[in-house]
A = this chain, B = another copy of it.
Amino acid sequence: MFNIVDLRKDNNEEAAKALYQKLTQRTKFNDGANIIGAVSEILDAVKSLGDKALRDYSKKFDNADIKEIRVSEAEINAAYNAVEPELLQTIRISRQNIWSFHEKQLQNSWISPNKDGTMLGQLVRPIEKAGLYVPGGTAPLISSVLMTAVPAKVAGVSNIIMCTPPTKEGTVNPAILVAAREAGVDEVYRVGGAQAIAAMAYGTESIPRVDKICGPGNVYVSTAKRLIFGDCDIDMFAGPSEILVIADATARPEYVAADLLSQAEHDKLASSVMITDDEGFVQKVADEIEKQLPELSRKAIIESSLKEFGFAVLVENIEQAIEVSNNIAPEHLEICINEPMSMLGLIKNAGAIFVGNYSPEPLGDYMAGPSHVLPTSGTARFSSPVNVDQFLKKSSLIYYNRQALEKTSGNIMRFAEAELLDAHANAIKVRFRN
């Protein structure tokens, strides 16, 4: 079902490189002139025509006639009646767990006053407006709404809006509306695609301009985010989802198999990797996959995903497993080994780390608390999970008095001269002319 890569031999560097390449190159930014051109046209149209462009594109791309762009209070109230009370209860528990975790990320503004009367510091404040993009599609991404909007709300963002494509009937999935309201989203707009990104970046009659846009989307949405970046902040470029399980002989094959399967069902491009130092374990997991797969409804997607991007990697020992994992920099990393905590210090790159046999990835997807919006395709090398800090901004604070400025005035003037900027030196000189 999956592919086996043996990295135990000495001359395995090429096999390792081929694996890394296969995994990171599942999707690449499509910089084809066609897509950039099409998206640029949409951005320009929304900038100049506003709501009219949004209505035209919804007709064209979503086959929907949208009258009211904003989802009304009445529709949101109706959504509450359409959602099962148990699901509402689950959404509320999840929201609370996400809130509790992210509250721990809040930072204070700080100052550092010095004995000479000077003071330096850093003001930390929330951005004012955040925009959340929620893609359409068959499966409603209820949990993703919570996992993005709640951290923004915890940060103190005063206005959170959401855009999501309408169905042909112009409606929005009720569970999405309920999750948005529970998460603290202030306004929901039935607009999708690059036109939604343009609307949030530049504003229209109906949709306010925001300071930051978050959320995944197709290549048009991603390209739009790339092009508007700078006029507005963006979160990251989400690629297909991925899991990496490090397992030794103490792991349970049926658990590991189930976790690999759960990742593979997301997408044909999703990747499921297991790394183990126990050769016998590979067959056990393969057997379990064969056993569990027939009962799963997304069997075809899973099979395709495992065949193309499913790997069992054999290594000499757990240290090597972690080295390979660091090179892959997985979105989700499960550590199913004896004394898993003892390995934390070696892990360099991972979006979220799931420790032990009873921390399966779906726990993190829905209930644990940390955001499930995580860096993919190796970007955990430099990116972080969605977190409160991404909705905060900082200002440096500098306060000097006359005496302290005079003391360092020679240094400032020397620097200014070296950089050929004598008006900079002059700003110091005028203050000490007499």
CB-CB under 8 A from A422, the residues of chain B are 265, 296-298
- Judged by a CB distance under 8 angstroms, whether A400 is at the interface is yes
- Judged by a CB distance under 8 angstroms, whether A189 is at the interface is no
- Chain A 95-110: CB-based contact to B (< 8 A → 1; otherwise 0): 0000001001100001
- Judged by a CB distance under 8 angstroms, whether A320 is at the interface is no
CB-CB under 8 A from A90, the residues of chain B are 410-411, 414-415
B344–A397 contact, CB under 8 A? yes
- Judged by a CB distance under 8 angstroms, whether A136 is at the interface is no
A29–B227 contact, CB under 8 A? yes
- Judged by a CB distance under 8 angstroms, whether A226 is at the interface is yes
Distance A143 CA – B295 CA, assembled complex (angstroms): 63
Distance A416 CA – B398 CA, assembled complex (angstroms): 51
Distance A274 CA – B402 CA, assembled complex (angstroms): 22
Q: How far is the CB of A270 from chain B (nearest CB, A)?
A: 11
- Judged by a CB distance under 8 angstroms, whether A359 is at the interface is yes
B367–A412 contact, CB under 8 A? yes
Query: In chain A between 353 and 382, which residues have their CB closer than 8 angstroms to a CB of chain B?
Result: 353-371, 374, 379-382
- Chain A 387-416: CB-based contact to B (< 8 A → 1; otherwise 0): 101000111111111101100101110111
Query: In chain A between 98 and 136, which residues have their CB closer than 8 angstroms to a CB of chain B?
Result: 101, 104-105, 110, 112, 119-120, 122-123, 125, 127-128
Complex interface: stretch among A30-38, A67-75, A277-285, A308-316: A30-38
**Nearest-CB residue, chain B, relative to A425:** B362
B262–A418 contact, CB under 8 A? no
CB-CB under 8 A from A355, the residues of chain B are 119, 397-399
- Judged by a CB distance under 8 angstroms, whether A351 is at the interface is yes
Checking B231, B262, B418, B420 against A426 with a beta-carbon cut-off of 8 angstroms, the contacting residue is: B262
B229–A262 contact, CB under 8 A? no
A262–B400 contact, CB under 8 A? no
Distance A139 CA – B415 CA, assembled complex (angstroms): 11
CB-CB under 8 A from A421, the residues of chain B are 139, 262, 265-266, 298
- Judged by a CB distance under 8 angstroms, whether A419 is at the interface is yes
A358–B140 contact, CB under 8 A? no
**Nearest-CB residue, chain B, relative to A104:** B112
Q: How far is the CB of A297 from chain B (nearest CB, A)?
A: 5
Complex interface: stretch among A10-18, A49-57, A163-171, A252-260: A252-260
B408–A367 contact, CB under 8 A? yes
- Judged by a CB distance under 8 angstroms, whether A211 is at the interface is yes
**Nearest-CB residue, chain B, relative to A127:** B382
Checking B29, B230, B295, B385 against A396 with a beta-carbon cut-off of 8 angstroms, the contacting residue is: B385
Distance A359 CA – B121 CA, assembled complex (angstroms): 13
Checking B233, B394, B399 against A359 with a beta-carbon cut-off of 8 angstroms, the contacting residue is: B399
